Amino acid sequence: MNVLLVLPLVIPLTTAAASLLAWRRLPLQRFLAVAGAAALLAASAALLAGVWTNGIAATQMGGWPAPFGITLVADLFSAVMVVLAGVVGLAVAVYSLASLDEPRESFGYYPLLHVLLMGVCGAFLTGDLFNLYVWFEVMLMASFVLLALGGEPDQLRGAIKYVTLNLVASALFLAAVGILYGLAGTLNLADLAGKLNSLAEPSTVTALAMLFLVAFGIKAAVFPLFFWLPASYHTPPVAVSAVFAGLLTKVGVYALIRVFTLLFVQDVGYTHTLILVLSGLTMVTGVLGAAAQQEFRRILSFHIISQIGYMILGLGLAGLTTSTALATLALAGSVFYITHHIIVKTNLFLVSGVARRLGGSFELKALGGLYRGRPGLAILFLIPALSLAGMPPLSGFFAKLSLVQAGLGAGQYAIVAVALVVGLLTLFSMTKIWAEAFWKPAPADSALDSPPPDLGPRERYTLLLPIGLLAVLTVTIGLAAGPVFTLATRAAEQLVNRDAYVHAVLGGQR
Amino acid sequence: MAALLAILIGCLYAAGVYMMLRRSLFKLILGLVLLSHGANLLIFTAGGLTRAQPPIIPAGADAPVVPSADPLPQALILTAIVIGFGVLAFALVLFHRAYQTIGSDDPDELRVSDG
């Protein structure tokens, strides 16, 4: 058994259990939360290093050989996602120390955060569709409670929509899994990859693919199934918003990329064209939705949707080109984009929390003067904001560049044009936040009269340290785009070349 | 038998969707319950309905008696039922709490957070 594959699940579980035992001792819970997240990051980095040197790792739980037991698999894509979960987990755990109010902290926030991380890591690592459903539910259950924790009316309103839509998605996912089992007699991803190609009725498989597209599309907030996201993401405390924005929809994107590169590649002309069209519509509706908003976190929420479009753009392109090199480039663009997006988006949400702390509101109208009072924070906002819009030399530029290259290579000029225009509109949204919250003078009645309220020394570190580190990471990815892109390319090669995955799971059986 | 179950599943889905579209949070939950029951039965039906032996290997043999039933769909359904039970229990508490806080059972009253 490969311990590295199990550690990203065991560490959050142990941390959550230990925090539950320390229910009445908040300082200990806080320490455990940060230590557990750091351990998760370390373990995930070790996993990534292991997969990088030794190739795809697979482990059979309980010693049952695949495809009968539950398999955990880590290819480079999974490993990168787990590392990102570790990064977000650590940043948010540290940020929570100063940003969360004590009632929420004392009602199980830290254990829930780690259960959420466990669900996310499990979804990234599993090699079995039903097991994926279970990890989804673990993650959802924790996210439901995190979203509603505190019980403010707006939170409850958001939570009802979030819970309902996610339960519907789960029911659809479950139905799809059941039909797939009836069709192929297995739910092991690697085993399915072989069996789906030899089925008598390819049209049934395509119909199933659509069911999966809807189920994962709701979770990933793809057009037209995104409306639950802007209705709920701005309601919980900032730390919760940040971890949701960073990780949850990306689990849906991960699942989409996994099943549409490994399983449903029979009728790419139909399925992947649809994905491409959806990606364009997702980008456009997301960014237009953001343009209409005047609240910091709601703008950011709509931008999540628009960015999801870019991520599945690479997936659509990869299916529609016959050249392996282009498909690899497109998927590498997607992987790079997800990496960049998770870091940047988490960071922007964290910044919005500090702006709220200083300016007393999330409404852009009530904010202002932050640049004069806090130039350092303004710079920390500007780095992820410009990166999100795709300014060189930040990470977002290279992510968009590879997608655009792949799109031009595949001859999909329309979608490339859409992607570029949406990039410009993103810049418009970010400058709106910049001008309103940071540049314009503070409104007369705001809390920011001058000088702005000071952060305590402890707050300063716990709030600004994660933001600073994530910003450094964004710049690093931009400046060291070469190595990161090599990593993304190798991850994409493993996605395109399905035999390596199948072989790693099933061994020499076929 | 499969056809009968298929019709039943269809009815459960239809009733579930209808209930979710009613203007009441309580009926929304009922709709979710029906949907998840429909999905569970769907797994059961899609897994193949056969009149067969229990999939138990008799003492001394090294393979089960054929034809034997496939135990996996039932294991899947059992897992799904347990998860569904937990999630719905949470949803009930959440909706009740929302009803107390917002003071209305009408989903239209939730619109405020959409802006």
A310 located within any domain: yes
Q: What is d(CA A293, CA A112) in angstroms, rounded to the nearest whole number?
A: 31
Mean pLDDT value across residues B86-99: 90
Structure tokens at A62: 């309980």
A161 located within any domain: no
Say whether B90 and A134 touch across the interface (CB within 8 A).
Answer: no
The fraction of chain A above a pLDDT of 90, given in percent, is: 47
pLDDT for position A258: 93
pLDDT tens, residue by residue, A66-101: 778 889 999 999 999 999 999 999 999 999 988 888
Please list every residue in chain A whose beta carbon sits closer than 8 Å to the beta carbon of residue B91: 144, 163-164, 167
pLDDT for position B49: 83
A32 located within any domain: no
- Of A75-84, A302-311, A314-323, the one with minimum mean pLDDT is A314-323
Q: State yes or no: pLDDT of A508 exceeds 70.
A: no
Say whether B115 and A295 touch across the interface (CB within 8 A).
Answer: yes
A70 located within any domain: no
Of residues A163, A230, A293, nearest to B94 (C-beta): A163
Q: State yes or no: pLDDT of B115 exceeds 50.
A: no
Nearest CA among A454, A446, A453 for reference residue A368? A446
Kind of pairing between the strands at A71-74 and A57-60:
antiparallel
Of all residues in chain B, the one with the smallest CA distance to A142 is B87
Of all residues in chain A, the one with the smallest CA distance to B75 is A130
Residue A58, beta-bridge partner list? A73
- Compute CA distances A229 → A188, A245, A269, whole Å: 31, 9, 30
pLDDT for position A334: 93
A391 located within any domain: yes
Q: What is d(CA A466, CA A461) in angstroms, rounded to the nearest whole number?
A: 8
A437 located within any domain: yes
- Compute CA distances A120 → A113, A116, A335, B84, whole Å: 11, 6, 17, 19
Q: What SS3 class is residue B104?
A: coil
Q: In chain A, count of helices (H) and strands (E)?
A: 22, 2
A208 located within any domain: no
Neighbouring C-alpha atoms within 13 Å toward the C-beta of A287: 25
> Is pTM beyond 0.90 here?
yes
Q: What is d(CA B9, CA A39) in angstroms, rounded to the nearest whole number?
A: 46
- The count of domains in chain A is 1
Mean pLDDT value across residues B37-65: 85
pLDDT for position A444: 67
Q: State yes or no: pLDDT of A454 exceeds 70.
A: no
pLDDT tens, residue by residue, A369-392: 778 878 888 888 888 888 888 888
Instruction: Could you please state the CATH topology (level 3) that the domain comprising B2-53+66-103 is classified under.
Output: Helix Hairpins (1.10.287)
Backbone torsion region of residue A77, taken as left when φ is above 0, otherwise alpha when ψ lies between -120 and 50, otherwise beta: alpha
Chain A nearest C-alpha distance from B36 (Å): 6
A1 located within any domain: no
- CB-CB contact of A121 with A9 (8 Å): yes
Q: Identify the domain containing residue A357 by its residue range.
A: 267-479
Give the A:B interface size as CB pairs under 8 Å: 111
Mean pLDDT value across residues B102-110: 77
